[in-house]
Amino acid sequence: MTLVIILLALAAASASAWGLSHYLGRLPVAPQCPCCRTVTDRRRTAGSVDLLLARLGGAAARECRRCGWAGRMRWRVATQSAGR
């Protein structure tokens, strides 16, 4: 019985990790708007879940002033330094 519980816990953990990576992989890359390709701004009405996801490096709530798009975006790792 204990082995079944351990296997179920491992299956649930791997399924949740896969689900989270699949969700984050499908988000558009910040800060470029997926509709009009302009730079987006931080959404003003960000709640506690948005702030938690942004702090964890997952997804940030963003909005586009030009076309009105609003949603979550993922940050990508910079390939070059910003320079000075």
Q: Are 45 and 21 in contact (CB under 8 A)?
A: no
* Beta carbons within 10 angstroms of residue 21's beta carbon: 10
| pLDDT at residue 28 in the model | 83
What tokens were used for 72?
């979550």
Q: pLDDT 10s per residue in the chain (84 long)? A: 899 999 999 999 999 988 888 877 788 887 888 899 888 887 765 567 666 666 666 677 788 889 988 888 887 766 777 665
What pLDDT score does 54 carry? 62
Reduced 3-state DSSP string for the chain: CHHHHHHHHHHHHHHHHHHHHHHHHCCCECCECCCCCCECEECCCCCHHHHHHHHCCCEEEEECCCCCCEEEEECCCCCCCCCC
Structure-token match 């701004």, residue found: 41
pLDDT at site 26 = 82
